[in-house]
Amino acid sequence: MEQELQSVSKFYDVVIEFITNYSFQILGALIIFTIGIFVSKYVYKILDNILKTKIDETLSGFVANFVRILIIVMMGVLALGKLGISIGPFVAALGALSLTAGLALQGSVANFAAGVVLVATKPFKIGDTITVHDVYGEVEDIKLAYTVLRNEDQEQITIPNKYMIGDILVNSFERRIVEGSVGIAYDSDAQNAIDVIKKVISSCSEISDEQEPIIGIEKFAESSIDIGYRYWVPTKSFFKTQYDVNLKIFEALREADIAIPFPQREVTIISK
């Protein structure tokens, strides 16, 4: 029992001695770290408000948050120094940890770096239609790590931002172009067929009035004259409009007595 009391008494003496010798250092460290937290929040608000008016909102929040964390880390290092703790091993360990994390998360880091470039250069914006890696869709959201697209089937497509940089990216803004063709017989009036197709396309409300449709002879095939046509439609109704227009063109050509021929071959039989 006496031994236990002595142990408690020694522990009490050690605690009292520690508080007596290091109380001011502990208090100073807490004050430094608390000030750092308040200063970081204040700097974050100021930077965020200033940068929002000059650069993109997403990028401004990222920069302001990075500065806030940097201030907290610096004040934490100062607080450790106030306690008399050597920060050399801590910095070395932090560097090794950062290197390991960087190697493990290099894909994510590349996505974040690409996101910063996208936000800064703005090759597209929300609402534009882009095609990248044979995938297309309307831009729904732009994050620092990825970009979200949505296609006509209401499928959500998430593309890592590293695929947006250094690759071919097509931006057709809010519309996509439809390309089609129909073959007519060689003895049909090509100009009349072009006029019929132009009338059908101009009657469709979904087709853009800003970009004039292009209609003309695409090529001379073996069994037909191919009339090609190109027009712009909203991304979210690309296939629906294309299929509707094709049906209307087919019906209009039939009403105008313009033949759509099937492939033909002329066979000559030579008897001995």
Residue 33, C-beta contacts closer than 8 angstroms, at least 6 positions apart: 75, 76, 79
Domain 175-255: state its class.
alpha beta
Condensed to tens digits (0 to 9), the pLDDT of residues 41-87 reads 888 888 877 777 766 666 677 677 778 888 888 888 777 777 666 66
Q: How confident is the model at residue 91 (pLDDT cuts 50, 70, 90)?
A: low
Query: What does the domain layout of the chain look like in residue ranges?
Result: 2-104, 123-171, 175-255
CATH class of 2-104: mainly alpha
Residue found under tokens 């057709």: 172
From residue 5, give the alpha-carbon distance in Å to each of 2, 9, 16, 17: 5, 6, 16, 18
Does domain 123-171 fall into CATH 2.30.30.60?
yes
Condensed to tens digits (0 to 9), the pLDDT of residues 198-248 reads: 999 999 988 988 889 999 999 998 889 999 999 999 988 899 999 999 999
Residues 6 or more apart whose CB falls under 8 angstroms from that of 235 comprise 129, 136, 137, 138, 151, 152, 172, 174, 175, 176
Report the pLDDT value the prediction gives residue 184, as an integer from 0 to 100: 94
